[in-house]
Structure 1
Amino acid sequence: MSNLRLWSTAGMAALLFTASGCGESQTPTVTTSPDSETTSVAESPVESADTPSEASEDEEYLATLGLMKGHLIVAKQLMDEGKIEEAEPHIGHPVEELYSDVEEQLETRNVPEFKTTLNQLHDGVKAKIDSSKLNPDYDAAIKAVEGAIAAIPETQLQDPQFVLNALNIILETVDEEYSAAVVDGKIVEAIEYQDSLGFILYSENLYQTIADQVSQTNPEAHETITANLTELKKAFPSVIPPETALKTPEEISQWVKEIEESSTL
C-alpha cells in the first residue's frame, strides 16, 4: 500500500482534519487568512473504515493529481476575485502536501518533474503579484498536472470502474474537509470549505469523462451519481464561504456515501 493512504489524526470518530477554530468557542468565526494558525493533516486521500482497502496505485495516483487540480481550480476562482492571499494555501498544498505522493512514480511513468512549475506559481502568489500576471504560471501548472494524468494508460482513463474508484477517494476527502469546515452550523474554516469546493468541481469534471458510458450501461447508477454530485455542489454558493453552512456535514457524508454505493458497476 502506498504511503498515500493516511489515517486522520483528528480522531476516527469525527473523521476530519484538525483545524484551529474548531474548539470550544461559542461564536466561531470564518478563517480566511493563510496566516491563521491552522494545523492540518496532509491532504492525501485518507483511509477510513468505509474506504476500499485495496485501491490500485494508478487509482491513488489519479486521485492525488485530482486533489492537486481541485486546489488549483479553487485558487483560480480566488485569484479572479482579487483574493491573492486566500489563494495562496490552495497553490501551496499541491506542492507542499501532495507532490511527494506521486514524485517517485513520475520517472517510471515518463512524466517530467513539475515541482519547479508548481513552486514558480506559488512564489508568485506569495509575492502578491497581480493575478493577471500570474496567468501564464497558472496555466503551466494546470498543464503539468494534466500531463501527469495523461500518463495513465488510456484504457484505464476510459474505464468507468477505474475512474469511479479514484473519484470516490477524492470525495472521501471532500467529506473530511467539509466536516472540518463546519461547526455548529457555521463555516469556521474557509480553507477547508474551499478545498471541498475545488475537489467537488474536479470530481464533476472527472465523472463527465465516463458519464455517457455509465448512463448507457447502468442508468440507475448514473442518475444517483449525478443527482448526488448536484446536491454536493449546492453546499457551495460561492468560493467565498457564507457565515452559515447551507448543508450539514451529515448531508455531505450521506451524498458521498450514496455515490460510493452506486459506483460498483
Structure 2
Amino acid sequence: MLMGIKRRTRIWTTVGTAALLGGLAGCSEPASDTPADEVPQSQAEQHDTGAAADHAAEPAAPAGGWSEGEGEGEGGSGGGEFGIDPVAAESDPVVYMIALEVMRAHYLAGIDAYRAGDRTAGAEMFAHPINEIYIDFEPVLENLGAPLFGDTMTDASVAPYSGAGEDEIVARVDDVLVAIDDAAGFAPESDASEAEVHARVLTDLLERGALQYRVAASDAEAGEAYLDGYGFARAAERYAAGHIDVIAAANPALAGVFAGLVDQLNAAFPTALRPDTLEDDAGALVSAVAAAKETVNTLP
C-alpha cells in the first residue's frame, strides 16, 4: 500500500509540473511553437471559468444505469470523475471497461489534435485522464492483478513539455493505448453476457460523445467539449470494430443500430480541430443513442 501511495504521489507531482510548464508556456513561449495569440485557452482555465457546461456534458453518468452499486452524479459512494465509480469498477466489468475506454478517448483525441496543429490542447488531453480517472482507478488494477500504467501515462503527458519530437510523442501515446489493451484483459467477471457488457460499454461511449456534441453545438466557445466528444467518437469506433461481432451474434439488429450510430457520431466530429460550424442535429443524435440504450436493456 505504501508503494502505491508513493507511486501516485510521484504521478501527481510529475503531472502537476507538466501542467505548470504548460501554463508558463501559454504565457511566454508555448510548447506548441505557435504564436501566443493563437494558443487556445487551456482546459484547466475552462474548467475554472466557464466549463461547467462542459462537465455537465460528461454525463452524470451514462455508466450509472448499468451497475447497482454505482450512484449518479459524481460516481456514487466511491467517488470518481466522469461518473466512473472505482469501487464499482472492481466488480463490474462494464464500469471497469468504461474507465479504460474513457482514458483511451483522451489519448485518441489528444494525439489527433497534436498532429492537426493544436499541440497545447493535445498535450492537455494526455494529462487529464491521469488525475481525473487513473489516480483513483489504480488500486482497482492492483486488486485485480492488472499491470499498472500510471508511469506510461505520465511519460506521455510530460513528453510535449520536455522537448520530445512528434515521433517520440506518438510512440509514448501508443504505449498508453497498448497498456489499456493489456488492462482490459483483467476485467472482473459478472453474470452479464459478453454481448451485454460490450453493448453497454459501447452505448456509454456513444452517449458521452452525443452529449458532448450537444454542448459544443450550443456554445461556440466550448472547445473542450468538442475535443472530448471527438475522443469519445473515436473510442466508440475502435471499440465497435473490436466487439461488434459479439453483439451481432446476440442481436443483429442492435449491431446494425450501433454501426449507424458510430457513423453518425464520427460525422458529427469530422476532425480533431473544431469546424467553423456544427451542422448535425444534436437533439436527434442524443435521442437515437437513448433509443439504443433502451434496446440494450432488453439483452438477455
Task: Provide the TM-score with structure 2 as the length reference.
Answer: 0.68
In the alignment, the residues of structure 2 paired with residue 87 and residue 113 of structure 1 have an alpha-carbon distance, to the nearest angstrom, of: 23
2:124 aligns with one of 85, 89, 92 = 89
Q: 1:173 to 1:126 in 2, by over 3 A?
A: farther
Bigger RCO of structures 1 and 2 (CA < 8 A, at least 6 apart)? 1
Structure with the higher fraction of residues in helix conformation? 2
Count of residue correspondences? 234
Which one-letter code corresponds to 2:220 in the other structure?
I
- Residue 65 of structure 2 aligns to a residue whose secondary structure is coil
Aligned to 1:73: 108
Q: 1:214 to 1:117 in 2, by over 3 A?
A: closer
Aligned to 2:61: 47
Aligned to 1:244: 277
In the alignment, the residues of structure 1 paired with residue 258 and residue 94 of structure 2 have an alpha-carbon distance, to the nearest angstrom, of: 19
In the alignment, the residues of structure 2 paired with residue 145 and residue 252 of structure 1 have an alpha-carbon distance, to the nearest angstrom, of: 28
Aligned to 2:260: 227
Listed as ranges, the matches of 1:105-254 within 5 Å are 105-127=140-162, 129-152=164-187, 159-183=194-218, 187-254=220-287
Q: What's the offset of the Cα at 1:200?
A: 1.6
- Does residue 38 in structure 1 map to residue 73 in structure 2? no
Q: Answer yes or no: is the 8 Å Cα contact 1:187–1:242 preserved in 2.
A: no
Which one-letter code corresponds to 2:161 in the other structure?
K
Q: Answer yes or no: is the 8 Å Cα contact 2:114–2:123 preserved in 1.
A: no
- Residue 37 of structure 1 aligns to a residue whose secondary structure is helix
In the alignment, the residues of structure 1 paired with residue 222 and residue 40 of structure 2 have an alpha-carbon distance, to the nearest angstrom, of: 7
User: What is the percentage of aligned positions where both structures have the same residue?
Assistant: 21
- Does residue 258 in structure 1 map to residue 266 in structure 2? no
Q: Which has the higher mean CA deviation after the structures are superposed, 117-126 or 147-156? A: 147-156
Q: Which has the higher mean CA deviation after the structures are superposed, 59-68 or 115-124? A: 115-124
Q: What's the offset of the Cα at 1:70?
A: 0.9
Consecutive unaligned residues in structure 2, runs of 5 or more: 1-38, 71-87
In the alignment, the residues of structure 1 paired with residue 63 and residue 129 of structure 2 have an alpha-carbon distance, to the nearest angstrom, of: 26
Q: 1:196 to 1:76 in 2, by over 3 A?
A: same
Which one-letter code corresponds to 1:125 in the other structure?
P
Q: What's the offset of the Cα at 1:163?
A: 1.0
Aligned to 2:18: none
Q: What's the offset of the Cα at 1:110?
A: 1.2
Q: 1:175 to 1:53 in 2, by over 3 A?
A: farther
In the alignment, the residues of structure 2 paired with residue 128 and residue 192 of structure 1 have an alpha-carbon distance, to the nearest angstrom, of: 28
- Residue 144 of structure 2 aligns to a residue whose secondary structure is coil
Q: 1:100 to 1:167 in 2, by over 3 A?
A: farther
In the alignment, the residues of structure 1 paired with residue 105 and residue 57 of structure 2 have an alpha-carbon distance, to the nearest angstrom, of: 12
Task: Provide the TM-score with structure 1 as the length reference.
Answer: 0.76
Q: What's the offset of the Cα at 1:161?
A: 0.5
Q: 1:36 to 1:46 in 2, by over 3 A?
A: closer
- Does residue 64 in structure 1 map to residue 78 in structure 2? no
Which one-letter code corresponds to 2:93 in the other structure?
D
In the alignment, the residues of structure 2 paired with residue 237 and residue 189 of structure 1 have an alpha-carbon distance, to the nearest angstrom, of: 16
Which of 1 and 2 has greater Rg? 2
Give per-residue Cα distances to partners, 1:180-210, cap 9 Å, x unaligned.
Answer: 3222xx5322221111111122112212333
Q: What's the offset of the Cα at 1:159?
A: 0.9
Q: Which has the higher mean CA deviation after the structures are superposed, 51-60 or 92-101? A: 51-60
In the alignment, the residues of structure 2 paired with residue 106 and residue 118 of structure 1 have an alpha-carbon distance, to the nearest angstrom, of: 14
In the alignment, the residues of structure 2 paired with residue 197 and residue 145 of structure 1 have an alpha-carbon distance, to the nearest angstrom, of: 19
Q: 1:42 to 1:246 in 2, by over 3 A?
A: closer
Q: 1:100 to 1:44 in 2, by over 3 A?
A: farther
